[in-house]
Structure 1
Amino acid sequence: MSDFRLKVFRSVAKNLSFTKASQELFVSQPAITKHIQELESTYQARLFDRQGSKISLTEAGKLLLEHCDRILEDYKQLEYEMHLLHNEYTGELKLGASTTIAQYVLPPLLGSFIRKFSQVNLSLLNGNSRGIETALQEHRIDLGLVEGIYRLPNLKYTTFLEDELVAVVHTKSKLSLPEEITPEDLQKIPLVLRERGSGTLDVIERSLSGHNIKLSNLNVLMYLGSTESIKLFLENADCMGIVSIRSIFKELTAGTFRVVEIKDMSMLRELCFVQLQGQEGGLSQAFMQFAMHYDRKL
């Protein structure tokens, strides 16, 4: 059975539409139907119930969907490891990463990469997202890793992880806040936030705009250049910060910080690789492929 046939089934099953699967996979609708029919023939079972223009999964379809993602992941892992057998990577790879990624995501990944590709000379530039994109455009780095929501048209972005921002206060803070607040409450609470140009602040601004609140409406005591400085600031000031959940995990577990929920205001973002358009391949591609297979540990 080909992995593409499984991809067709997964797309139809998750969209519950042959038309949407056709659009998603850039394959004709008759070809989608043929792949599903061949799967049904292989298993001698109907995978979908058809009621007019609507479809639903049969019990056999639900069973196949349960296994589908794992099988496709195994195919992907096999292809990756077979590829490694025939390639020895050497040379220099200059990475650039925004602060959150450099501090809380990359270190274990870099260690594993160096063990696997000992002949590669790896370096890392740290800065905020806008600075990393500038370094890439000026050819000071080969591959960037950034957070945030804004995209420059001459750069190519590839998502590799999802992240969430949360509002936190120190448990010894004199700032009295309930477990949940409203977006409007943010305008009255003293805050410490990341600096302009950071992907973190981009996401906060976008989330606020969904509630018709401007950054200038907030009571921001300080803008700081790193999450670590925000955490130290919070230990010594009665205010609230907004940071990546990845950056505060240990402190939440230890009970030194607590999360303050903001009602109906999610602050989700994608962590992305960023490259110059048309310059894919080589060590940059090898690092991206390695990270994509490592991401289950991140």
Structure 2
Amino acid sequence: MLDFRVATFLCVCQTMNFTQAAKALNITQPAVSQHIRFLEEAYKVRLFHYENKKLSLTPAGCILYKRLTALKNDEQALRAELHSRVTEIEEIALGVTMTVGEYAIIGPLAAMLRRHPERNVKLRFGNTTQLLQMLAEGTIQMALVEGYYPKDQYAHYRYSTEDYIGVCAASHVFAHGEPRTFSDLLGERLLVREEGSGTRNILERNLALRGMKIEHFIHFTEVGNMHTIIGLLCRDCGISFLYKTAVEHELANHMLREIQLLDFSMQHDFDFIWEKGSIYTEQYQAFGRELAACARDVARGGDVRNEMEIVPLPEQV
């Protein structure tokens, strides 16, 4: 069990405010200061720097925050592991982005659950930014993301590589003829996900490489749900950029078509990520490998139960 002063330190790191941390923890501000001083004396380093009324972590504080976050999350995973020894039920909390959860994981996850009836999976949805926060808070143990994330801060395992494309209604007529480059699309209505979404972040980075922003489109509509974006696309209400896996049905049935551009062609990885340095890395890798194998088998139209040996996740020692 981690020292209660660790919880204080992590809370201050999240709020960057002693008063807010005291309120969140239901203790006094002097108690918060005392807990931080104790840790600084124990580790013989300064953890925070205060300048211009702004609190920030020192380099040593950043290291301690990363390590203690991993330890806190591992402790929660340890509690679940110990409980599973009593109930004989495995449990894992997995966060997924909207695109992954709605279009890229259902079949593989169903195959895995059929193989492992003893396994409980807590599936949490959020955009990439929200999932990174859930990892930091320990709400989830792993995340499957399709956006950019700081790879140096997380352990990761590739789930799949997906095509990222521009799409419009099959009957859509462009105002100035078929587009050849990104700039030819600026007169169109762009349907785009909310800020923090991996799908949007990829588009923003591609636009930035060309000196462009989403706001350069004459019209754009921000939508926080992929189903709604696809529905609007099918009704010829604009264009969008998203993962091909999300619209394979609509493309195959000629409801939507791909926008072919000379200056745009890309693929992007869907990655499992978890806290770097976790003692459960081997277990998380095994989970990721198995689900990725299920995905490949589902794509081939096979039955994963007949082709893979059923093995439990590795035990921790």
How high is the TM-score relative to the length of structure 1? 0.65
Write the letter of the residue equivalent to 2:94.
Answer: L
Report if aligned partners of 1:93, 1:284 keep a CA contact under 8 Å in 2: no
Amino acid in structure 2 at the alignment position of 1:107: I
The offset of 1:222, in angstroms, is: 0.8
Does the Cα contact within 8 Å between 1:166 and 1:260 map onto a contact in 2?
Answer: yes
TM-aligned CA distance change 1:131 to 1:123, over 3 Å? same
Contact kept in structure 1, 2:157 and 2:285, CA below 8 Å: no
- Following TM superposition, the consecutive aligned residue runs of length 4 or more in structure 1 with deviations greater than 3 angstroms are 172-180, 235-238, 280-283
Q: Is the 8 A contact 2:167 2:241 kept in 1?
A: yes
Instruction: Report how far residue 158 of structure 1 moved.
Output: 2.3
Mapped to 2, the partners of 1:292 and 1:236 lie a distance apart of: 34
* SS of structure 1 residue aligned to 2:260: strand
Q: For residues 183 and 173 of structure 1, do their structure 2 counterparts lie closer, same or farther at Cα, with a shift above 3 Å needed?
A: closer
Q: Secondary structure at the match of 1:205?
A: helix
The residue correspondences of 1:1-298 to structure 2 (distance < 5 A) are: 90-151=89-150, 153-173=152-172, 175-176=174-175, 178-279=177-278, 280-281=280-281, 283-297=283-297, 298=299
Question: How big is the shift at 1:233?
Answer: 1.7
Structure 2: any 5+ residue segments left out of the alignment? 1-87, 300-317
| C-alpha deviation, 1:282, in angstroms | 6.1
Partner of 1:228, secondary structure, is helix
Question: Which digits, 9 at most, give the CA deviation of each residue in 1:61-93, with x for residues without a partner?
Answer: xxxxxxxxxxxxxxxxxxxxxxxxxxxx84211
Distance 2:197 2:185 in 1: 20
One-letter amino acid of the counterpart of residue 140, structure 2: I
One-letter amino acid of the counterpart of residue 273, structure 1: F
What do residues 79-136 of structure 1 show as CA deviations (whole Å, max 9, x unaligned)?
A: xxxxxxxxxx842111110011101111011111111111111120111111111111
Distance 1:199 1:117, change over 3 A: same
Equivalent residue, structure 1, for 2:315: none
In 2, Cα distance between equivalents of 1:190 and 1:296? 36
Post-superposition shift, 1:266? 1.9
Gaps of 5+ in 1: 1-88
8 Å CA contact 2:135–2:274 kept in 1: the answer is: yes
Q: Residue 218 of structure 1: CA displacement?
A: 2.2
Q: How many Å separate the matches in 2 of 1:199 and 1:187? A: 21
Q: Secondary structure at the match of 2:166?
A: strand
What amino acid does structure 1 have at the position aligned with 2:286? Answer: A
Q: Distance in 1 between matches of 2:205 and 2:154?
A: 21
Distance 1:177 1:249 in 2: 27
Structure 1 counterpart SS, 2:196? coil
Q: For 2:288 and 2:130, how far apart are their aligned partners in 1?
A: 20
Residue pair 2:234, 2:256 contacting (<8 A) in 1 also:
no
Q: How far off is 1:227 after superposition?
A: 1.7
In structure 2, C-alpha distance between the alignment counterparts of 1:104 and 1:184, rounded to whole Å: 29
